[in-house]
Structure formats: C-alpha cells, structure tokens
Amino acid sequence: MSNSTSDGAFVPAAGAVALHISPARRGWRRFRRNPLGFWSLVLFCAMVVVSLSAEVVSNDRPLVVRYEGTFYFPIVKDYSEQTFGGDFPTPADYLDPFIRGRITAGGNWAIYALNPYGPKTLNYFAKSPSPAAPTRDNWFGTDDRGRDLLAQLIYGFRVSVLFGLALTVIGTALGILAGAVQGYFAGKTDLVMQRLIEVWSAMPALYLLIIFSAIFAPSIALLLILLSVFGWMDLADYVRAEFLRNRQMDYVRAARALGVSNLQIMWRHILPNSMTPVVTFLPFRMSGSILALTSLDFLGLGVPPGTPSLGELLSQGKNNIDAWWISLATFLVLVMTLLLLTFMGDALRDAMDPRKAD
Amino acid sequence: MATPLLDVQNLRISFAGKPVVHGIDFSIAPGEKLSLVGESGSGKTVTALSLLRLAQNATVSGKAVFTGVNAAERTASGSPPRAPVELLSLPEQSLRGIRGRDIAMIFQEPMTALNPLFSVGNQIAEVVQLKQGLAQAESWQAAIKLLADTGITEPERRANSFPHQLSGGQRQRAMIAMALACQPRLLLADEPTTALDVTLRGQILDLLGELQQRNGMAVLLITHDLNLVRKFADRVAVMENGHIVEQGAVAEIFGRPQHPYTRKLIDSKPQRDGLAGAQASAGPEDVAPMMRAERLRVAYPVSIPGIRGWFKKAEFVAVKGASFHIPPGRTLGVIGESGSGKSTLALASLGLLPFSGQLQAAGQAWSREAARNKAIRRAVQVVFQDPFSSLSPRMTVEAIVEEGLTVHEPKLAPAERRERALQALADVGMTDAQFPGLLQRYPHEFSGGQRQRLAIARALIVNPSLLVLDEPTSALDVTIQKQVLALLQRLQRERGLSYLLITHDVDVIRAMAHEVMVMKDGDVLESGSLSDVLDTPQHPYTRVLVTAA
C-alpha cells in the first residue's frame, strides 16, 4: 500500500452545513419556506382534526351528566328518558326543555358539546320554522328540515375529507402500480396496457354512475369503488413516463448488473426517484375527489339520503334560494377547503421542482 | 495596436449573493486568440456569457470596454471608428445591436443552440437579414456562401436541411457560419469542440483558425482542454475558482508555468502506474481468460417508416461480430467515437442486452434465465460514465454500496455488511475520517470524482474479477481524471482485476490498456497490443485517431 496515496488526497467537502439531508427532507424544507403553503397545511390539518372529533364538538347529547350523585356519559351510551325522571322508556332527548331542566337543576349538571346538535338532530323545540336564519341557538341557522347547519357542515366536511383521502390513496396506488408496470417493462407490455387504458378511459363514467345508482342501493363504498375504478389513469401516465426515463439511468443498469431482481429495482431504485409527480399531484387529486363527491351529491347520485354532505346542502341552498345562509356557509366551507388544498399543491410543486435550488 | 479590442477590468459575478467570479482582469487585442482555460465550476463560461449580459440572474460588476467597429459597416459608410463602449452598463437596446454583429458567440452543444423547427439556411439568413438589412433572396444567398466558407459540402442542399438532419460536425459548422454572418470583431467560443468526436475536433479548430485569419477577428476560446489551447491560442488565461491565477503567452505558460494550479493542469495527462506493467508480465496464453467473445453481434430492432413498418422491423447492427479475450489482471481498451458501438459492447458483455455469438465471462456463458446468471453477475461488475446518473439520488451511501451484498450474500448480518462496505470505501480512498457520517450521506454531497469512487466501491464490494469501465473518466475534470485512473490501476495491481475499458480518449488508453481494440460503426478495425496499435497503426482511421489526440 506504499503507493496508495498516489491516487490523490482530496479535500473534505467544504461547508459542512447541509450534511446527510435526504432529498425528501430538502423538499420538506423548501415547502416550509413557503408561508402560504405551510400555513394552508396547518389550517387544513386543524380543520381535519376538528372534524374528526366532531362528536365532541357538535353533538346533541351532553358529554358528561352528573345526575343525583351518579355520572352518566350520554355521548357513548344510550340512556332512556326514565333515567332522568321522564315518563317514557324512549332514548332521552337532551334538547327537551324538561330533560334539560332535570339534569341541570339542583346539584345536577351536564356538559354539552360546543354546538349542541348532531348531524341528524331535529330540534322539536325550535322557536322559528325551518329553514331558520342564524340565531343564538343555531349559529349558522338550520336547513329546510330543521337540522342545525353548523353540525351539517362539520360532519359533511368530515365525510368529504375522508372520502377524498380514501379516493386519493386508492387512485394513487392503482396509478403507481399501472404506471410502474408499463414504464418498467415497456415494449409490448406497455403497448397493450396503454391500449387497454385508452379503452377504459373512453367509458362514460358519469352515465355508469347514474346506472349503478339506479341498480344498487346508494352507499359510500359503492361510490368509492366506482370513482376509484375510473380515477387512476391520469396519474398512471405520469408514473409511466417517470419509469420510462428512470429505467434508462445508469444506477438502474448498475443494479441490474449486480443482479438485483426486477421487483427490487422498481421498489428501491426507480420508485423513490419517480415520486415527484405523485406527491405534487396529491393535494390536487384530493381537491378533485372532494369536488367529485360534492357534485354527485348535488345531483342526488352520491351518498345515501340522511348522510351529512356538502353537495346535498348546496342542493338545498338552490331549492331554498331565500335561505341565503345555507348556500353561503356551504359555499364558503367548500371554497376554503379547495383553496387550502390548491395552495398546498402549489407550494409542494415548487418544493419538488428540481430546478429550484435550496 | 495599442488599444485592446476588449478590456475587462475587475469583473465580478455573483449568483444570489454567492460570488462565482472574483474580480478578474484580461484583455484581447484585435485579431488575437485568447484562451480562457479552467476546470468545471471555475467560472469561465459565465464570464463569457456575462460579457454579453446573457448570464441569467447574475449580478455583474466591473468594466468591460469594447472598442470594436464592425468591418462591414466601416467599409460601407466610411464612418470613423465608434467610440469605446462599456458592455456591462450599456442600455439593453444598444447591447442588442452589438450582440451577433460585433461580438458573436458559439456554444458547446450545437443541437440545442440551433432551433430544430427551422432549416439552418433559414436561421443564418435571418441573422443576415436582421443585422445587415439584406433582402430575403440576398440573405439566402449570403447564408449559402457562409455555409460554403465553413467547408460544408453541398452548401445549397445543406442550407435546406434541418438541424437534426446534420451530423454533429456539420451542425457546429452551421453554428460557426451563423456566428460569422456579420463578420464580428470578437468571437466568444464556449467549448466549441467538446461535444464533438476527436477526429472532428481538429477540423473545427482548423476551420476556426482559418476564418479568424481571414476575417481578422479576435477569438476568446473557452475550454478545459489544454491540447486545444496549445494548438490554437496565442495567449492563455488560467482560471481557478473564479480567479485568473496566471496569464501570458501560450509558449511561456506551457514552458514555465508559475502557479501551482497551472502546473497541476499541465501535469494532468493520464499516466501509467510504474508498478503495473511489471506484475502483469505473465503471458496471456498461459491462463484461462476472464472474458472471451467470439463473433459477438448485437442488433436493435428499428421501425421501418411507412406501411411496411406495420408488419416487420428492420435491424440496426450496433456491434458486427467482435472477437476478443481478456486475460486475468489485464486491460482491454476499446476505443472509438460516438456511434461506434463501444458502449453497446459494454452492455452486452454485462449481459444486459440480447446478443448472438459467444460470450463467456469467468468461464460461464450468459444465460437467459436471471437465476443462472448470479455467479457471473458477481464476477463481472461495471462503472459507468456519468457520476451523476450512476448513483440513485435518494439512497444513502450505505444502501448504495451494500446493495451487492444484499443480493449475493443475503445471510450477512447488518454489522458485517457495514464492515464490508466501509472496507470497500476505504479501498477506493474514502474513509469516515475524511467524510464524517460517510455511510449516511447522500450522493449529492459528493463531487464528481468522489461519486465515481463510490460507484467503484459499489462494484468492488462483491469481489468481482472483471470490471467493465464505460468511459469512467470522461465526465470528470482532467485533474480528477488522473486521480481516478491512478486508483483503477492500483486496484488492478492489488486485486488482479481485469478491465474492459471503453473510451474515446487515446490518452486514457495509453495510460491504462494492455491490449487495444479500435471500433468504428460497429466494426472492429484493428486490435492488438497497446504498442502495436498505437505506435504502428495499420488502419487509416486509427492513424487519424492517434494523431488527433
């Protein structure tokens, strides 16, 4: 080894600042540096958290009741009216002024949710006919069946976001899978699958939805399946292009020369380097999914009747045009959601742009 | 002439507050050939671009006084020489008049510098029309004449060609014709021959020299290639990290370099390791070769245009029957220009392309079934040209280097794997002491030469007996190239590795190879021992190659 230094001593990398930061971390740092995108993410997450704990925030049952020395938890358990001194063995209606009086009188107390209405709660003791304009009792007013609008919006937002998330995850997984197979194996596989995709994408998805909703009982699962089946093709194209490009890279050739299996090459080498379009499109896909559900609900082809939904509220707003609070509140929630997702998408796109330096 | 054509003083350039050129001074006399030489990242290209204020997002300060009068303009109007102008503070509109007419530029890659949607004649005629105000028909004639001046055969037919229909050399000639359309006083040539094959480089350089003489223009040649400087320039300025460390007449700089960096550059020609020859003295016939190929043929299917293409495919034969063998511990150098089939040969010998003919590596032939190839995969490893695309940017050094072990020795414990990886990295001269946290780093934290070392470590970890080196140093700077070649020679000496070395560079072959094979258009023109082929070349093409270097 006497000659081992002849091939040169080198200078340790100058400026030991940005050590060991993976490209994904660098992307996240760039994302954080965009205030609009970052605060959109924070706000959106906050909204999702609130809607996920909707039962605590907006519920017609009190969270805790202390009645005659015993604790009751109506939020998780059903109690009959008789428990609280009523006459009938029916579930207690905690909005009933009589029950309300019983459980709050004397040493008894009850903690109600912030907004004391659930998504399906009908207030039989309302003071004004429905739809009722915003009042002290119903902050956002009620809809045409007398249900509290705020509760509708919170639960409807939750359904929309969860549905959008599920649709995005399924569509992304299918898109990556199809695109990866097409791009990696290329040639005949690619050709055949591309033709199949073209045929598939030529199917009139909306009419199929209408037909299916006539045949089957409407349910969220059915809707999810139908929309997923048609919602992965655009992403598959991008992933396919990335795989076609990356399979030619020298690191893939080097891995093949090492004898790494196809699956391993796709998973370890190409996929991580092909995620840019996938990640960039996530917020946009999500907003697209939410919008799709809303539109179908608006048309009456979406979630089963009785499920709180933004689209159904919009449709109510259209039918009761003078009940301006319905359309306005729903519209604002929808615009806010889509806007936040779009801001996040823009920031993400900038963060993933390879041409932008740190 | 007393007044220089271009006088640059204290030129400073920075990008987003990060300085890249730190106050350089140089001047070019009328008709002078100055060469700005330096390695990548030294700021030479951005210097040239900022003279015409073409460097985007750059903050430029300093002075660049240009005292040029367009020759055509002077003869036409008899006007007195124009007053000197300061290029860096000139209004954009006046500068636009100078660009292309008084100072023209040619770029490294003619394919991207020409607009693919217009014929080259159109593009040249447009310049003539714009800058000299000729009519359409006249400017077309002028374009043809300019093309003829650059030595393009059949200029009238070529003028109607689109850039993709021309060869690399023809494209660069068309670029030169376009740059010279207005007889500029100064030509900025940014690596004009780097993208071309060696045999073409000489021709383009001769052409530039000839046109320079004829038009009496000055040339600022930007290059990293000292051979070009020696052949072409009058004076040379050596740049390192945004400073001009030394400048002077070519003979003086090359004869008595003062600055250590200049000496290092001049000394960077690849050299043969003194110890390597002695060890590999065993006769090549005594032992079984590491790789043997008989009439190796590689063909790609290509589509036929028109309706016939629907039913069958034509064949493009990239390698037409190559036969060779590589004994243990020896290097076979394959030399050829782009399109000669040498990289295809490399991929085929790695078993990554379907081929016909016989090819045995480590005593075993490649099989179509992946499982049966495992042993040879281990014996034959590869190092690619581009250190930036040969390492996955999203994997750590540990994951990259250990990958071979996960395939070939899956039972190894993680700690042992890590041990082996560190050993392989130490073998290529990279240790944890030099790079703290080496295994957890990502490729983007390393320079080109260091990445190439990582790629070598990845190949070495499975203890191969043959390395396929596909242009292992052609993407590296000259001083780094020398280091990497020295490393490869040391590894060969210590481990008795065989190399299949693919390159276009005769200097690399001279330093590394024991046997040489010359390829052109898929044919093997000549093969034999290093001294036979390079000292007494038989084939005329080999002679051109050797003399061009």
The whole-angstrom separation of Cα A161 and Cα A49 is 11
Q: Do A251 and B391 touch (CB under 8 A)?
A: yes
In the numeric block, which tokens belong to residue B384? 């690619």
| DSSP assignments along B156-223, one per residue | HHHHT--GGGS-HHHHHHHHHHHHGGG--SEEEEESTTTTS-HHHHHHHHHHHHHHHHHHT-EEEEEE
Q: Which of A13, A257, A259 sits opposite B374 (nearest CB)?
A: A259
In chain B, whose CA is at the least distance from the CA of A2? B490
B540 dihedral zone (left: phi>0; alpha: psi -120 to 50; beta)? alpha
Distance CA A98, CA A125 (A): 11
Which residues of chain A does B484 touch, with a Cβ-Cβ cutoff of 8 Å? 7
Residue keyed to tokens 């860096």: B88
CA B449 to chain centre: 15
CA distance A152 to A327: 12
Residue window 64-123, chain A: list those with CB within 8 Å of chain B. none
Mutate which: B267, B350, B373, B392, vs A, most A CBs within 10 A: B392
pLDDT of residue B404: 92
**pLDDT at res. A42:** 95
Chain A residues with CB under 8 Å of B446 CB are 13
Closest to A12 (Cβ–Cβ): which among B351, B392, B435? Answer: B435
Q: Pairing mode, if any, of strands B18-28 and B6-15?
A: antiparallel
Question: In chain A, what residues touch B429 (CB-CB under 8 Å)?
Answer: 4, 7-8, 10
Following DSSP, what letter does each residue of A94-144 receive, concatenated? TTSHHHHHHHHSTT-EEE--SB---TT---TT-SSPSS----SSSTT-B-T
Site from B389, B398, B427, B512 to mutate, A interface, most A CB atoms within 10 angstroms: B389
Query: Digits of tens for pLDDT over chain A (358 positions)?
Result: 333 333 443 444 444 444 577 778 888 888 888 899 999 999 999 999 999 998 888 888 888 888 888 888 888 888 888 888 888 888 888 888 888 888 888 788 888 888 888 888 887 777 777 788 888 878 888 888 888 889 999 999 999 999 999 999 999 999 999 999 999 998 899 999 999 999 999 988 888 888 888 888 888 888 899 889 988 998 999 999 999 999 989 999 999 999 899 999 999 999 988 988 898 889 999 999 999 999 988 988 888 888 888 999 999 889 988 888 889 999 999 999 999 999 999 998 888 876 665 5
Interface test with chain A among B241, B264, B394, by most A beta carbons within 10 Å: B394
Flag if A256 and B352 touch (Cβ within 8 Å): yes
Residue B46 above 70 pLDDT? yes
> Three-state SS for B23?
strand
A170: tokens are: 């399924």
Per the CB < 8 A criterion, the answer to whether A91 and A104 are in contact is no
CB spacing of B352 vs A16 below 8 angstroms: no
Asked if B266 contacts B225 with a C-beta cutoff of 8 angstroms, the reply is: no
Q: Check for a shared fold between B6-102+185-266 and B274-362+465-548.
A: yes
Which of A34, B548, B228 lies closest to B537, judged by CA? B548
pLDDT of B21 over the 50 cut:
yes
pLDDT value at B195 more than 90: no
Interface contact flag, B382 A22, Cβ < 8 Å: no
Residue B302 predicted with pLDDT over 90: no
pLDDT for residue A116: 85
Q: With an 8 Å Cβ cutoff, are B486 and A7 in contact? A: yes
Task: Decide if domain B274-362+465-548 falls under CATH 3.40.50.300.
Answer: yes
Return all residues near B67 (Cβ < 8 A) that are at least 6 apart. Answer: B3, B4, B5, B6, B7, B81, B84
CB atoms inside a 10 Å sphere around CB B338: 11
pLDDT at site B422: 93
pLDDT confidence of residue A87: 82
Number of CB atoms found within 10 A of residue A72's CB: 20
Q: In A, which residues are within 8 Å of B389 by CB distance?
A: 249-251
Q: pLDDT, tens digit, for every residue of B401-444?
A: 999 999 999 999 999 999 999 999 999 989 888 888 889 888 88
Angstroms from B391 CA to nearest CA on chain A: 5
Residue of A22, A249, A250 for testing the chain B interface, max B β-carbons within 10 Å: A250
What CA dihedral angle connects B153, B154, B160 and B166, to 10 degrees? -30
Residue A254 C-alpha, separation from nearest chain B C-alpha, in angstroms: 7
Listing DSSP states for B44-79 in one string gives: HHHHHHHHTT-STTEEEEEEEEE----HHHHHHH-P
Residue-wise pLDDT tens digits, A91-142: 888 888 888 888 888 788 888 888 888 888 887 777 777 788 888 878 888 8
Distance (Å) from the C-alpha of residue A282 to the closest C-alpha of chain B? Answer: 20
Interchain proximity A257–B352, CB inside 8 Å: yes
Contacts of B461 in chain A (CB under 8 A): none
**Residue matched to tokens 């045009």:** A321
Between these two residues, B288 and B376, which has the higher pLDDT value? B376
Which residue type sits at B436? P
* Interface residue A251 vs chain B (CB under 8 A): yes
SS (H, E, C) B243-283: EEEEEEEHHHHHHCCCCHHHHHHHCCCCCCCCCHHHHCCCC
Please tell me the class of the B6-102+185-266 domain: alpha beta
Distances (CA, A) of A213 to A210, A219, A320, B36, B240: 5, 9, 26, 74, 72
**Rounded to whole angstroms, how far apart are CA atoms B512 and B489?**
7
Nearest residue, CB atoms, B441 vs list A20, A255, A268? A20
Residue A355 sits at the chain B interface (C-beta within 8 Å):
no
Task: Say which residue the tokens 């023209």 belong to.
Answer: B104
Beta strand B235-240 pairing with B33-37? parallel
The nearest CA of chain A is from the CA of B264 a distance in Å of 12
Helix, strand, coil proportions of chain B in percent (round to 5)? 40, 25, 35
Residues of A in contact with B353 (CB under 8 A): none
Q: Judge whether B139 and B125 are in contact, CB under 8 Å.
A: yes
> How many CA atoms lie less than 13 Å away from A253 in the CB half-sphere?
26
Any chain B CB within 8 A of the CB of A199?
no
Among B533, B541, B542, residue whose Cα is nearest residue B514: B533
C-alpha span between B447 and B439 (Å, rounded): 16
Nearest chain A residue to B432 by CA: give it: A12
Dist CA B543 CA B549 (whole Å): 10
Instruction: Tell me the domain boundaries of chain B.
Output: 6-102+185-266, 119-183, 274-362+465-548
Q: Give backbone dihedrals phi and psi of A49, rounded to 5 degrees, phi first.
A: -60, -45
Model pLDDT, residue A158: 93
State the first-to-last Cα distance of chain A, in angstroms, to the nearest integer: 41
A19, A259, A269 ranked by CB distance to B437: nearest: A19
Q: What is the dihedral of CA A201, A206, A209, A214, to 10 degrees?
A: -140
- The answer on pLDDT for B2 being more than 60 is no
Contact B386 A250 (CB under 8 A): yes
Rounded Cα distance between B36 and B229, Å, is 9
pLDDT of residue B77: 44
**B455/A13 touch (CB, cutoff 8 Å), yes or no:** no
CB contact under 8 A, A253 and B373: no
CB contact under 8 A, A251 and B450: no
Q: How many CA atoms lie within 13 A of B8 on its CB side?
A: 24
Helix (H), strand (E) counts: chain A = 15, 3
Reading the block at residue A268, the tokens are: 């370890």
Rounded-to-integer distance, Cα A290 and Cα A309, Å: 11
Q: How many residues are recorded in chain B? A: 549
pLDDT of residue A355: 62
The tokens describing A163, both together, are 């549905």
Q: What is the pTM of this model?
A: 0.81
Whether the pLDDT of residue B478 is over 90: the answer is no
What is the pLDDT at residue A2?
37
Query: Which pLDDT tens digit goes with each residue over B117-164?
Result: 999 999 999 888 888 888 888 999 999 998 988 888 888 888 898 888
Which residues pair with residue B21 across a beta bridge?
B13
Distance CA B181, CA B193 (A): 20
Q: Which residues of A touch B490 (CB under 8 A)?
A: 3-4, 6-7
- In this structure, are residues B515 and B331 in contact, taking their beta carbons and an 8 Å threshold? yes
| Tokens describing residue B119 | 């014929």
- pLDDT recorded at residue B82: 60
**Within 10 Å of residue A30's Cβ, how many Cβ atoms?**
19
Chain B residues inside the 8 Å CB shell of A16? 436
Q: Does A2 touch chain B (CB under 8 A)?
A: no
Q: Give every strand in the sheet of A64-67, ordered side by side.
A: A70-72, A64-67, A109-111
Residues of A in contact with B441 (CB under 8 A): 19-20
Determine the pLDDT at residue B285. Answer: 54
Contact B366, B351 (CB under 8 A): yes
- β-sheet with B85-86: strand ranges across: B18-28, B6-15, B58-66, B85-86
Give, in order, the Cα–Cα distances in Å from A142 to each of A122, A137, A145, A306, B154: 10, 10, 8, 15, 84
